[in-house]
Structure 1
Amino acid sequence: MPCAIELLPNELLDQIIVYLTTEPPSLARLHQAPDRQITQSQNKQLKHLAQCSSHLLDLVRPRLFAHACLDLKDESAFQTFMVASDLGRYVTSLVAITEDTALVPADHYWWQRTLQYLDPTRITVLAPPTFIGNMLNTRIMNGHNWSFDIHLQILQLERDGPSVPPFSEMDDCDSLLLARPWTSMSFNESSSLKAYNHYEYFLSRVPSVVGEWGFQLNPQEFPPEHLSAMLGRLTSFSYTAIFPFYNHVKLVLDSLSVMPNLQVLSVQLAPEEHNHVLEMEQRGSLDPNDPWTELSTSYSLIGFEVRNKESLVEFRSRDFAFEAIREELALELDANLGDTNWTPEGNGVWRRRKT
């Protein structure tokens, strides 16, 4: 005997399923400290509903598998399951996770195989800096990571529009950034706080694919063709890093020069208001004034870049949610954006006025 809920028309059941559907937890954790909990959720309502009957499973399945998680050490089993169950057509977003250690090496070309049976409009990768660099055909200088101790970073790519041919038809593609027409990129670089405990910390080089792009650019020369090809389509870029050095932020901003279509820039350079990571690091030799000085100088550079980047129409600072520094940030940005065609709209959002 079917349960009472199964007697409802499929249209009503679908509405119920819509109400039970939530955003994937990876979106809420995109700007937090990168860790393997990025896909963990306490909400299991859809899974519980799918277990009630085969009929409800058929109705729930498209939404249940819309957001998939792939641990690269289990790639073969994941592919077998997705293909055998014909679930690839439902996947709209994918989170790929790897720690890429010497004991458990991972293939940075995993996406070449995965995009033959999946076509998500959003891919999120949680991985070490060198893995992300290799995946984007960019060699990362990792020699100073002993001072930063950055184990994981987050890269997220999004796109709009219809599906494109599978990767097998793109023989020369050597970067995930070229595998699909991505228009939005978010990068969570993790924290630089540990490096502040070392003498002349500002001489250390952050292991970062975005910083590497800026380092490769020479103002006197045309940008490398591979950078222009990878970044030229982007219309939105979000950068998250906890207390990066201002000279590194300058490299990140330099990379915007190969994003000619960039319209929206978002940054976060401080931990969230109730995060006590700075207090914990002060147990070492860190001078607590140094991170805030670097942040203030970084915002001065950011304001200058926003003012002069002609393609930009919107700038967002997630750090305005931090009440203790909101006034100082507003002053730093106003020094560059005040009395220009940029208008503050509150909550850390600035918008270019139409002329």
Structure 2
Amino acid sequence: MERLPNELLVSIASHLDVDAPSVKKFSHEPTARLTVSDDTPLKNLSQVSWRWRKILLPILFRYSRIPLDPSPQWVPIDARILDNMQGQLTKLSNHEIQIYTRMMSKFKATGTGSAFDQAFDDVLINLCRVEDDDKVLKSVPHILWFPHLFKNFAQFLQFVEQYDLKNHIKNIVVYTDKEYQLRHVSTADAPLAHAIHEIWDQIFSNLDPNRLVVAAPPSTLSALLDAQMLSSDTWAFDMKMHYVEFLQQDPQRSAHRNRECRPWGNALVHRKPWTHLGYNEGSSITAYSTYEYHLKQSPKMLYLTLLRLAKEVQNCCNITSFSFIGVFPFSTNLNAIIRALQKIPTLREIQVQLAPGPENDLLNTPKRLGRAQSADLWLEWNGCYSALAGLLGTQELGDGARFVSKDCGEKEVAKEVEEYIESLQKRGQGWRKDGHEAWIRDTCLDQEAVPDEHVEDAESALHQLMLAAAHELD
């Protein structure tokens, strides 16, 4: 084996290569273990010898993961903390002295009195980031968390440069299980924006991935996407994690890096000329057990991100494909996503999965179902497909466009999906079957419309969408 040339060893290693867990498990119900796999043949092979290690490094790091640091780093500087710092001036670091001096002048401007007066109980002057030498600030009981890169990220970049891996790292997963909990604090907006900007600046100035996945709790993901949640019902859905995926596949799009095409820079959605957006919001099943469940609203980061693409990106470099995964989402929540999709004329492929996948035995798990009724689950599922039929029937997707339903694994469910596509065909639109779960728009098959119950359902769903859109504040 040692006498074989490197080319043959690379070929041998390719037979042990398997899909990364972030690819295989992206459609599964989101968890913090998206990047974890028990099957690691290439990692095992890389430990056989230094030669194998050198050969496998470019393959091993093709899929890289970047965790966010879980340690809190920000302190709300109020009057009492300043009073405490004043009693320990000789122990303050240079950074703490700068904070103390600057904040004391602001504190004095608020009025006179002691820091321990009741009038100053709610005086929050500023949020300051704790540095390594800030021993006094580190002793503060309540240190706050903002999303930030792990401490060894600089060493990781040195490793990438040392082994010339930048061009080999094509897939990155940024992940955390920490929830961002300061959206109610107005003074947190500026530090949060700075922290998020720093994360994406550090990643994209040093790496050039074709695929980026972010896995985080909804509150954290909304911060990372520079979007609001627009929901006070997140408690009802009990969604621990969401996944979002961005792909760029067309190298010619690099010619469109100008302000006329999109506002390059700040938000993640504008960091690259992405061609695909995928989203997995997990299960809505818990909300079905709540009172008047149909009125509950799931987090709206995807809806707002799609609106940004519709409003801020020109057709030359907008997304061409979109995928959505959710376990029994409410039809009203999917309608909001569809309204945003209707504003993106460049779409050529839409893929959905709205029922549990084969890895998920949710429907046979009473503890997960709670008080949810199976009839309600499938009623919402049908409402979602009615709305999707309305989208496909009105959106100018063009010849060759694809619709993919990952719900076609079971015969009964596949039959329901096929009926909705057949309703489009009876409406006069030609859709050709491509395998067991995909359909291709074929204008050669267009014909005169035939009245059909599902067509009427789709048109009714579209009418409801238009009414809702008229009242929507985009």
Same structural fold, with TM-score higher than 0.5 when normalized by the shorter chain? yes
Counterpart Cα distance in 2 of 1:10 and 1:267:
42
Give per-residue Cα distances to partners, 1:94-142, cap 9 Å, x unaligned: 1111123359999433222111111110011101223222323221124
Within the alignment, does 1:30 sit opposite 2:26 as a pair?
yes
Counterpart Cα distance in 2 of 1:89 and 1:139:
34
Describe the shift of the 1:135–1:49 C-alpha distance in structure 2 as closer, same or farther (beyond 3 A): same
Percent identity among equivalent residues?
Answer: 26
The worse-fitting range, judged by mean Cα deviation, of 91-100 and 326-335 is 326-335
User: Mapping of 1:287-306 within 5 angstroms?
Assistant: 287-306=373-392
Within the alignment, does 1:310 sit opposite 2:385 as a pair?
no
TM-fit CA distance, 1:229 = 5.9
Describe the shift of the 1:231–1:129 C-alpha distance in structure 2 as closer, same or farther (beyond 3 A): farther
TM-fit CA distance, 1:212 = 4.0
Partner of 2:77: none
Partner of 2:153: 78
Partner of 1:267: 352
- Please tell me whether the aligned partners of residues 404 and 439 of structure 2 are also in contact (alpha carbons under 8 angstroms): yes
* 1:31 partner letter: S
TM-fit CA distance, 1:13 = 1.2
Larger radius of gyration: 2
Partner of 2:269: 177
TM-fit CA distance, 1:314 = 0.6
Counterpart Cα distance in 1 of 2:418 and 2:368:
27
Give per-residue Cα distances to partners, 1:284-342, cap 9 Å, x unaligned: 32222101001011111101211221125110000011333222222233223444222
Partner of 1:332: 420
Alignment equivalent of 1:18, drawn from 11, 14, 22: 14
> SS at the partner of 1:6?
coil
Partner of 2:55: 59
> SS at the partner of 2:205?
coil
> SS at the partner of 2:152?
helix
Counterpart Cα distance in 1 of 2:221 and 2:65:
17
The worse-fitting range, judged by mean Cα deviation, of 301-310 and 149-158 is 301-310
Within the alignment, does 1:209 sit opposite 2:301 as a pair?
yes
Counterpart Cα distance in 1 of 2:317 and 2:384:
24
Describe the shift of the 1:53–1:329 C-alpha distance in structure 2 as closer, same or farther (beyond 3 A): same
* 1:323 partner letter: K
Alignment equivalent of 1:145, drawn from 211, 218, 234: 234
> SS at the partner of 2:299?
coil
TM-fit CA distance, 1:164 = 5.7
TM-fit CA distance, 1:81 = 2.1
- Count of residue pairs brought into register by the alignment: 342
Partner of 1:220: none
User: Mapping of 1:279-294 within 5 angstroms?
Assistant: 279-280=365-366, 284-294=370-380
TM-fit CA distance, 1:58 = 1.6
Counterpart Cα distance in 1 of 2:342 and 2:430:
21
Counterpart Cα distance in 1 of 2:155 and 2:29:
32
Partner of 2:3: 7
Q: CA RMSD in A?
A: 2.9
TM-fit CA distance, 1:177 = 1.1
TM-score by length of 1: 0.87
Describe the shift of the 1:281–1:334 C-alpha distance in structure 2 as closer, same or farther (beyond 3 A): farther
The worse-fitting range, judged by mean Cα deviation, of 272-281 and 179-188 is 272-281
Alignment equivalent of 1:189, drawn from 273, 281, 286: 281
Partner of 2:340: 255
> SS at the partner of 1:150?
coil
Partner of 2:324: 239
- Please tell me whether the aligned partners of residues 173 and 215 of structure 2 are also in contact (alpha carbons under 8 angstroms): yes
TM-score by length of 2: 0.66
Q: Which consecutive unaligned segments of at least 5 residues does structure 1 have?
A: 218-222
Give per-residue Cα distances to partners, 1:217-253, cap 9 Å, x unaligned: 9xxxxx9734x46996100100001111111111111
Counterpart Cα distance in 2 of 1:118 and 1:61:
16
> SS at the partner of 1:251?
helix
- Please tell me whether the aligned partners of residues 66 and 172 of structure 2 are also in contact (alpha carbons under 8 angstroms): yes
Describe the shift of the 1:256–1:267 C-alpha distance in structure 2 as closer, same or farther (beyond 3 A): same
- Please tell me whether the aligned partners of residues 155 and 187 of structure 1 are also in contact (alpha carbons under 8 angstroms): yes
Counterpart Cα distance in 2 of 1:330 and 1:20:
38
Within the alignment, does 1:323 sit opposite 2:411 as a pair?
yes
* 2:179 partner letter: T
Counterpart Cα distance in 1 of 2:166 and 2:9:
23
Give per-residue Cα distances to partners, 1:39-70, cap 9 Å, x unaligned: 12222221222222222222111101110011
Counterpart Cα distance in 2 of 1:172 and 1:340:
38
Partner of 1:50: 46
Q: Which consecutive unaligned segments of at least 5 residues does structure 2 have?
A: 70-148, 183-190, 445-474
- Please tell me whether the aligned partners of residues 126 and 152 of structure 1 are also in contact (alpha carbons under 8 angstroms): yes
Partner of 1:124: 213
Partner of 1:112: 201
Counterpart Cα distance in 2 of 1:77 and 1:55:
26
> SS at the partner of 1:75?
coil
User: Mapping of 1:147-162 within 5 angstroms?
Assistant: 147-162=236-251
Partner of 2:361: 276
The worse-fitting range, judged by mean Cα deviation, of 289-298 and 94-103 is 94-103
